[in-house]
Amino acid sequence: MASILETALAAGAFNTLLAAVDAAGLRGALEGPGPFTVFAPVDDAFAALPPGTVQTLVDNPPQLARILKYHVLAGAHGRTDLVAQSEWPSLEGAPIPIRCSEPFEVKNATVVTADIACDNGIVHVIDRVILPG
Amino acid sequence: MTPIVSTPGVRTPLIPPSTHPYAEVIHRLEAGGSMLPDTPENLQQIIGIYKAYAVPMDFYWRDLLYIAERVFLNPLPAFKYFISKEYLDLPNSYAGDQSKLRIWRGGEKAHPELLEFMERGETRRMPKLLHHLWHDRVNMEFAEACMQAMFWHQGMGGRFNDFLESDVYKANADRAIKAYFKGNLVMLGLYKLFPDMFMEQVKQLSFYANLGLFWEVMAPVFFEMSDLYDEGKLTSVPEAMDFLVNGIFAVAGRPIYHHVFIRGECFEIIPKSEGFTWLYEAALPYVEAVFYRTSPFRGTKSYNAQAYQVPADQADFHYGILYADVFPVGSAGIPPTLLMQDMLHFLPPYLQELYKQHRRGEEDQLIQLGITFQRSMYNVTSAVIQALRCALLYPLDDTDPEHLAANRRFFEAQMDRFLRPEARLADIQTQDYR
């Protein structure tokens, strides 16, 4: 089985996310044994942010890391697990709300593909970048 | 307007209309509008005042950083408003060719109109000290009042305040304090006797840095809006609001930090690596503290706290510009009037003309521009509300009724804050309020 980052690379739809992970210096952490649950926004999700948003974050790695950590949970949690409780603590510290009924939503993003199993965790593909608050 | 789905010949609302007392405003927000009605005069007023605000703001942010980074704990800071040449020329991180994010066209140095005013003031060219003593200068006291509002209210989201209580912060501040007073046995002795007092001062200085870094961004944004309006490229109030929404996103990740320079050495009291951001640690607390809360201004009106005329809960404070009765506020020496006086110096000609045509003309320009400022800040607050909706909730054209209902609940909760009688939201719906 591939790791979280290898899976994302192979999918080809997470170029911005992977570049952001590198810019934030989180590659090492995400290549570790974990396990992690990653809510992975597709490239279109980053492209939908207003001009300059991603650039400012990429220019400032600690701030970018904070936003990326909001997309990660400790432990490997599949959809069945996640919908059992309405909030999960992100690695950033702020809670991530989960919609417990259909459709499967994470905060204000919709999960387009759930439960992609990887060596060091589980990936859920989302259609929007989620932000704390 | 209620969100609708268009099918040929039929327009069916996905959710029923709001029954909130401000339903009209809520429907306007749901249609992508602002709390401020979209009229040519409202657009002219808010853009004109953004320009007049941006010029003194260009001084505020520079001097706030100068005080936070250089004046620091000077026990007699009599010259803290005498900004150094270095800070007057400090390149704006978000304007000028050296900027990494070049989306606003302004230059990196202090605005020419600001430099001209600092030279001549309202009176004439004379030494800086005389301008200062005659109070013919930019009113930094306003900027400090805003900083104090942020410092005093605290706990308004973000992680800034938590960090100020941390051991890491205390250790960083301790190093800076000891370095600053190195060789000064009196001050070091006082620090040993009253460490908390010194720590509190450093915390306040961290808020100077916070607000300076926040306004460093807003000044070029407002200049850009004024330029776009003059070129006919900003043609409606919602466009002006959207410009602000995009600006909020563009710089949301800007680091908020506090560095101090002592004898050529940089002490990172709040390092950039803490990950504090412009949006969470500066902009949102600023809006809450300054637009909504602040505190009763001394000298304008007596409040009896024991009769509950001042809320027991700080979160219920409602003395910000969104609630201000601009007329009694217009007394000399209090913060909003200081700002009005600052903006008066830089009003574009079209606003001067407008004020001459209404009420008492030039006689009550300060009041009229205060109300213009109130309109413009309702528009900025609308931009913040729409940015939060965009970041945390759903698009306005979403087709899921549950999502639209969540947006509705958010907008209604925001409007609930304007149900108290002091709010000016109802007043700004008409042009008669001047």
Lowest mean pLDDT among A18-22, B1-5, B265-269: B1-5
Q: Could you tell me the CATH number of the domain that includes residue A12? A: 2.30.180.10
Query: What span, in angstroms and rounded, lies between the C-alpha atoms of A117 and B300?
Result: 65
Asked if B275 lies within 8 A of A66 by C-beta distance, the reply is yes
Q: What is the mean pLDDT of residues B213-238?
A: 97
Q: For residue A57, list chain B residues with Cβ-Cβ distance below 8 A.
A: 252-253
Q: Does any domain span residue A133? A: no
Q: Is B59 helix (H, G, I), strand (E, B) or coil?
A: helix
To the nearest whole Å, the CA of B183 is away from the closest chain A CA by 36
Query: What span, in angstroms and rounded, lies between the C-alpha atoms of A131 and B319?
Result: 30
Q: What is the ipTM of this complex?
A: 0.95
Query: Highest-confidence range of B42-56, B295-309, B347-361, by mean pLDDT?
Result: B42-56
Q: What is the mean pLDDT of residues B12-37?
A: 95
> How are strands ordered across the β-sheet holding A105-106?
A72-74, A36-41, A121-126, A109-118, A105-106
Closest residue in chain B to residue A108, using alpha carbons only: B393
Task: Write the Ramachandran bin of B264: left for phi over 0, alpha for psi from -120 to 50, otherwise beta.
Answer: left
Q: Does any domain span residue A132? A: no
Q: Where are the domains of chain B?
A: 39-392
- Residue B372, pLDDT > 80, answer yes
**For chain A, how many structural domains are there in total?**
1
- Residue B1, pLDDT > 80, answer no
Q: Exposed, middle or buried: residue B251 (CB in 10 Å: 0-12, 13-18, 19+)?
A: buried
Helices in B94-194 by DSSP H: which ranges? 112-120, 128-133, 140-153, 160-164, 167-180, 185-193
pTM: 0.94
Q: Is B24 helix (H, G, I), strand (E, B) or coil?
A: helix
Mean pLDDT estimate for chain B: 93
Asked if A133 lies within 8 A of B157 by C-beta distance, the reply is yes
Query: What span, in angstroms and rounded, lies between the C-alpha atoms of B385 and B28?
Result: 13
Lowest mean pLDDT among B179-188, B293-302, B389-398: B293-302
Q: What is the mean pLDDT of residues B125-151?
A: 94
Q: What is the mean pLDDT of residues A114-128?
A: 95
Query: What span, in angstroms and rounded, lies between the C-alpha atoms of A49 and A43?
Result: 11
Domain span at A95: 4-126
Q: Please tell me the predicted confidence (pLDDT) of residue B184.
A: 97
Q: Is B269 helix (H, G, I), strand (E, B) or coil?
A: strand
pLDDT band of residue B328 (cuts 50, 70, 90) is low
Q: Please tell me the predicted confidence (pLDDT) of residue B303.
A: 80
- Residue B11, pLDDT > 80, answer no
pLDDT band of residue B300 (cuts 50, 70, 90) is low
To the nearest whole Å, the CA of A33 is away from the closest chain B CA by 25
Segment A25-50, tens digit of pLDDT: 999 999 999 899 999 999 999 999 99
pLDDT band of residue B2 (cuts 50, 70, 90) is very low
Dig out the tokens for B42 from the structure: 């409202």
Q: Please tell me the predicted confidence (pLDDT) of residue B6.
A: 46
